[in-house]
Chain A
């Protein structure tokens, strides 16, 4: 987690409501978003930062994923209702962005950058190694529910190829040989 220690016990500052990590390992079971004080607080704080309610859409899609691990149709409807949008509109936006999962993923979402700079430095081999070690095909959830491995477009760590992102963590300068150690570290 990137929350610094002294922030943990304080109520969330409204300025921080639109930048919480939404690819997290501790997935709670799918539940309603805005029926408890935590959800209502996040909604209210995010909405307070923009002149239009609609602008809180990305933060709320992120919140749905932060809470449930993915963005379900039910969450989209709930968000639509909260922000006076149509569910269709929310879906249109949610499907535009690649980081919102419209289906559940493994507890560890392993994204291997295979874009140009990483591609030049063994990224495909790293990707294949992750698939082999987790026994999955690209995009599927491993039998134990732990892993989903996908290729990612540029992760913005080109000088540290190959870049791998696991949930909200970056692993850099990854070589195929390091893959087993990274998987060990995840548990």
Chain B
């Protein structure tokens, strides 16, 4: 518990500046730390001007897909004919990712302020912050902050006397990874099974409750107040042209110093793994890293010298995802680790699309069999076939999510599969 990790790389802590400071959780404390300074300015601005600034900053969605945030906002109708909604995606469930919970529990008011500014930009009247159910301690902190913000006049009717009103509701999920997919989130918010729906309709046309809706990740929204305060160019001093800004990294697995770190985009992955996190403990070598959360392609220890940007990681054959490297040391049984990942996706498949419903569990079963020494040489061909048929065939990318690590593990660690099959 607590926030015990720090690192010695030269960096700027923007989102995480007040992580570990309990003062930031209360409204009074947060105001003392300079919080809610941007909101009054935003209330003076035209909504489209806010979107413009965020667009210029180059901020990209931090939930994994990296879609430009300002562009997403600009899809919302500019002449509302009824309510608009903002959904803040705090259903952080990707194995390897544990960054949003840090924002929820240390700087809840930063998130609330970001939500309000975004709501103003997209002309929304209600913000639903969808927090994964398991996060009781963190959603509780956020909930208390929202109530305080209501009492302080920052949320609700006629915010800060501006004449603009906006509600914020913290809404708990109840154990479903797929509620983190934006249409799955809205299905769940509306009181349904968290089943993704096929687009169109796109959320900006018909989202939550059939109304135009934008879904943004916690980390994305938390970055908005400072971008608006300091300007797009200021934000661009970190990161690269296409991937500006800083990013919260979630480092887990076999590391000396696992944890959450805020680092500028563009840092080399090997710096994150070895310098920030101290490499693998006990002098072990690193065998593989899944860099962006469990749904991204594995890299071998030789492939870590890649630039951690959205485009750089694609060039390296994987994805930045949620910037959540899962590090595996030389003793790791890759087949077993992959089986564990596949089991997760089989457990979390909503069950609509046939390829995902059947394919994820079949994958896990085959891997389980190979792991137990019962595999056959044909199993590897079948796994490749499954990779083929689970890619780009389904409503949402959950099936693809198991393919990325699976295919890369087959490509890069085939000898480990074959060794188990021979045994």
A–B contact (CB under 8 angstroms):
yes
Residues of A near any B CB (own CB < 8 A): 1-4, 7, 13, 15-16, 18-23, 49-52, 54-59, 61-62, 83, 85, 92-93, 96-100, 114-117, 119-121, 152-161, 165, 168-170, 172
CB-based contact A158/B146 at 8 Å: no
A113 to chain B, nearest CB (A): 9
Q: How far is the CA of A120 from the CA of B338 in the complex (A)?
A: 11
B211: chain A residues within 8 A (beta carbon) = 51
A97: chain B residues within 8 A (beta carbon) = 133, 173-176, 194
Q: How far is the CA of A116 from the CA of B101 in the complex (A)?
A: 18
B188 interface residue per 8 A CB criterion: yes
B57: chain A residues within 8 A (beta carbon) = none
Which of B170, B171, B177, B252 contacts A117 (CB under 8 A)? B252
B209 to chain A, nearest CB (A): 5
Within 8 A of A (CB), among B181-223: 188-194, 209, 211
CB-based contact A50/B137 at 8 Å: no
A160: chain B residues within 8 A (beta carbon) = 98, 258-259
A93: chain B residues within 8 A (beta carbon) = 191-193
CB-based contact A120/B141 at 8 Å: no
Q: How far is the CA of A2 from the CA of B82 in the complex (A)?
A: 36
CB-based contact B147/A120 at 8 Å: no
B175: chain A residues within 8 A (beta carbon) = 97-100
Within 8 A of A (CB), among B360-389: none
B83 interface residue per 8 A CB criterion: yes
A-B CB contacts (within 8 Å), total count: 197
B311 interface residue per 8 A CB criterion: no
Residues of B within 8 A of A (CB-CB), count: 70
Residues of B near any A CB (own CB < 8 A): 1, 5, 83, 92-98, 101, 126, 131-137, 139-144, 146-147, 150, 155, 167-177, 188-194, 209, 211, 250-254, 258-260, 290, 294, 324, 326, 328, 332, 337, 340-341, 344, 347-348, 350
Among B5, B137, B189, max chain A CB count under 10 A is at B137
B252: chain A residues within 8 A (beta carbon) = 117, 120, 158-159, 161
Q: How far is the CA of A2 from the CA of B132 in the complex (A)?
A: 16
CB-based contact B294/A16 at 8 Å: no
Q: Which partner residue on chain B sits nearest A163 by CB separation?
A: B98
B398 to chain A, nearest CB (A): 13
CB-based contact A21/B344 at 8 Å: no
CB-based contact A159/B251 at 8 Å: yes
Among B95, B150, B190, max chain A CB count under 10 A is at B95
Q: Which partner residue on chain B sits nearest A54 by CB separation?
A: B191
B259: chain A residues within 8 A (beta carbon) = 159-160
CB-based contact B147/A2 at 8 Å: no
Q: How far is the CA of A98 from the CA of B179 in the complex (A)?
A: 12
B389 to chain A, nearest CB (A): 23
CB-based contact B171/A96 at 8 Å: no
